[in-house]
Each structure stands twice: as structure tokens, then as C-alpha cells.
Amino acid sequence: MKSAHADAMPIAGGTDVMVEINLDRHRPSSIIDLTRIADLATWGIEDGMLRVGAGVTYARIIQELGDRLPGLALASRTVGSPQIRNRGTVGGNLGSASPAGDAHPPLLASGALVELASVGGSRRVPAREFFIGPKRNAMKKDELIAAFLVEPARGPQQFAKVGTRNAMVIAVCSLAVALDPERRHVGTGIGSAAPTPVTADDAERFIEGVLDEGGLWEKPVPVDAKALARFGELVAAAARPIDDVRGTAAYRRHALSVMARRTFGWAWDDYRNRVSA
Ligand SMILES: Cc1cc2nc3c(=O)[nH]c(=O)nc-3n(C[C@H](O)[C@H](O)[C@H](O)COP(=O)(O)OP(=O)(O)OC[C@H]3O[C@@H](n4cnc5c(N)ncnc54)[C@H](O)[C@@H]3O)c2cc1C
């Protein structure tokens, strides 16, 4: 159907699509209801990776995958309200590709792949290459998002979000971190502080260097406050925020540096507890 009707708008939970239609921002000539495609609402393990159908809701991520995808589950808990979490899907978040989408930072931090499908076959695009502009993604007109793929968490993961109130709020900015002790990797994902969700590559390399040089993966002691502060600065430097109704660019940078210190600190404490247990 998507191939035959390239302009038709797919609808999953409808929590973005219906807002657009109700506010008359879009009048799609036709829509494709994806909710009856049972495959999209399933998940399973494929070659050691979790393959999660695009139509799996936030509520199910929290209930069914919280142990394997703790970062995404934390982010999912902050999405909207119970009603939105019951209908809204990660596939829909990827489809909208808002810089503020809450699923994006944890998917970036854990190196997820987005599976795109069309009559011509399917391809897997790293989340880092999927977001190509504000509300623009790498999906072609005849493609649909079939699933995302990600390794079950190999270590602690964290997510933090700043909003103008406690719930039902679009992120002013957000940050995810994911530790992978086996690969000695620290992943990051920044939301709502650049034209697209982005990673903080220099910050990742810096903190990985600190952990490696200090032999901290083997002997995990608390990370030095100066190193944490530098990590925060580098995360903030990776953002390209703007002033808007939700916050100023300067506030977003400041909040990111604080969230970076905190989320890494929480994840590292968790890792230390696991090692000493
Ligand atoms: C009150 C309210 C609160 C909200 N709070 C948050 C929040 O806190 N955080 C947050 O990130 N978002 C929030 N949202 C936005 C929305 O809930 C999310 O973006 C959600 O993930 C959208 O999923 P959906 O299944 O409802 O998508 P839909 O509305 O069905 O679709 C969204 C877009 O993706 C496309 N699409 C959907 N599925 C596919 C697919 N399989 N393949 C290709 N394209 C597809 C659609 O064509 C459309 O362009 C909120 C929305 C509302 C109304």
C-alpha cells in the first residue's frame, strides 16, 4: 500500500497524527492504518539482538522490556500520560523524528538500528544516521518503519529529562547514557537541544579515556569530580540549542552539563554496586 500510495500517511497510535489533523496542520488525502499489522506489535531476539516492532507501545516497553532496555523504559515512563503511553509507539516517535522525541536519546546511546521496509526489501540504518533534519528522517517515500534493533543492555543505562512541569511535557532538553563494560564504551544521546537528536562523541571518548587510563572498569572507584565536570562540558558542547518558548540555548547547555554529570554518576554508581556485589 505504501508503495502504491506514497503520499498516504501511516498511522500507528495516532498521538502525533491526530493532533496534526485536529489542528488542521495536515489534511492527508489517505491514511494507512498500521494497527492491524500484527507483526509490528511483536518483539523477539534475533542473532542476540532485540528486534522490537515499530508498533510496540511505550506501556509495553515499560512492562515487558524494562529489564532489557532500562534506558528506553526510563524515557518511556516520561512520555505523556498513561493514555499516550498505551497508544503511542516508538515507531511513531521515529516517524515524527522530532528533536524532542523521548525515545531517541536512549536509542542513540545504545547504538540501535532502525529497520526500514518496502516492497524492494528491508535495510537497517543506525539511529545515528536516521535523523537527518528537524522532523526529518532517512525513510524513503515507499518505506515504512518495521522495527528497531538493539542489544539487550550490557550495563547500567540512565535517562533524564528537563521539562517546564513534571509530567505531560515536551522535553526542554534530555540526555541518555548507556554503559557497556564489555566493550568499555559509554554511549550518549541528547534530545531537544539541536536540530535533530545527537550524540556527544567527544564526551564519550573523553570519559572512556578516563575510565581506561585509571583502570576503573576493573577497579570501579568514584570518578573524579573534575573529570565529571569536563564530561558535562563536552556533552553541552555537542548540543546546538536554540532559544525558544520552552527555554533558552544557554539554559539548555547548562542543564545538559548537569544532567550529564548526574546520569553518568548514577550509572557509574550502579556499575560499582554490581561489581562489588
Ligand atoms: C498529550 C500528548 C503528550 C505527548 N507527550 C510526549 C512526550 O512526553 N514525549 C514524546 O516523545 N512524545 C510525546 N507525544 C508525542 C507522541 O505521543 C509520540 O511521538 C509517539 O511516539 C507517537 O507515536 P504514535 O504511534 O502515536 O504515532 P502516530 O501519531 O501514529 O505517527 C507519528 C508519525 O510517524 C509516522 N509513523 C507511525 N508509525 C510508522 C511506521 N511504522 N512506519 C512509518 N511511519 C510511521 C506517521 O505517519 C506520523 O508521521 C505526546 C503527544 C500527545 C498528544
pLDDT of residue 277: 86
Q: Is 92 in the pocket of ligand 1 (CB under 6 A)?
A: yes
Residue 73 alpha carbon to ligand 1 centre in Å = 16
CA angle 264, 252, 250 (to 5 degrees): 125
Report the nearest atom of ligand 1 relative to the CA of 96: 33
pLDDT at position 13 is 98
Instruction: Supply the residue whose CA is at minimum distance from atom 8 of ligand 1.
Output: 79
Q: What is the pLDDT of residue 140?
A: 97
Name 66's Cβ contacts closer than 8 Å, sequence gap at least 6. Answer: 73
Distance (Å, rounded) from C-alpha 97 to C-alpha 92?
8
Q: Is 72 in the pocket of ligand 1 (CB under 6 A)?
A: no
User: Ligand 1 mean position to 16 CA, how many Å?
Assistant: 4
Using most ligand atoms within 8 A of CB, pick from 84, 131, 168, 190 the residue to mutate for ligand 1. Answer: 84
The residue among 80, 90, 72 whose CA lies nearest residue 12 is 90
Question: Which residue of 21, 93, 115 sits with most ligand 1 atoms within 8 Å of its CB, as the best mutation to test the pocket?
Answer: 93
Quote the ligand 1 centre to 13 CA distance (angstroms): 7
- For residue 132, the SS3 value is strand
- Give the count of alpha carbons within 13 A of 29, CB side only: 4
Question: Distance between CA atoms of 37 and 47, rounded to whole angstroms?
Answer: 23
Atom of ligand 1 nearest to the CA of 58: 21
Residue 191 Cβ < 6 Å to ligand 1: no
Q: Is 91 in the pocket of ligand 1 (CB under 6 A)?
A: yes
Dihedral sign (CA 25, 28, 29, 33): negative
Ligand 1 pocket member 199 (CB < 6 A): no
Q: Is 12 in the pocket of ligand 1 (CB under 6 A)?
A: yes
Dist. CA 71–CA 61, nearest whole Å: 10
**CB of 14 closer than 6 A to ligand 1?**
yes
Single out the residue of 145, 138, 130, 144 nearest to residue 4, CA to CA. 144
Assign 117 to helix, strand or coil: strand
Distance 228 CA to ligand 1 centre (A): 34
Kindly write down the DSSP assignment for every residue of 6-37, as one continuous string.
Answer: TTPEEESS-TTHHHHHHTTS---S-EEE-TT-
Q: What are the grid coordinates assigned to 144, written together?
A: 515504512
- Report the distance separating Cα 188 and Cα 261, nearest Å: 12
Residue ranges, the chain, pLDDT below 70: none
